[in-house]
Structures are given as C-alpha cells and as structure tokens.
Amino acid sequence: MKVIAVAFGVMAQTLLPDPQVEKNIETMIVAKRNIDEQEAEKNNKKGNTTE
C-alpha cells in the first residue's frame, strides 16, 4: 500500500505544475535586477561608463 502511495506522489509531482513557479521566477528576476544595479553602481564609482 505504501508503494502505491509513493508512486502516486511521485507521478503527481512530475505531472502537476509547481504552484510556486511564478513566485520563483519573480524572485529570480528581482535578484538579477538588484545584482545588475549593484554592478552599475560599482562601475560608476570607478569612473567606468561602459553602458
């Protein structure tokens, strides 16, 4: 009985979409934006304007 339950759980996880996927994508976009802004600030402090 446990084997059937585990198999069903594995199948459900692989076939159903992740409900947090949009939140995860948004988090990654915000993190990348913050990193890009920090790098731009460093370049401006050094006097490099290579944009």
pLDDT tens over the chain, length 51 residues: 889 999 998 888 888 877 788 888 899 899 988 888 888 888 887 765 554
pLDDT for the residue 5:
93
- The two structure tokens encoding residue 12: 């459900």
pLDDT for the residue 22:
83
Q: How many CB atoms lie within 10 A of CB 30?
A: 10
Q: Is the pTM of this model over 0.85?
A: no
pLDDT for the residue 47:
65
pLDDT for the residue 50:
53
pLDDT for the residue 3:
92
Alpha-carbon span 23 to 40, nearest angstrom? 26
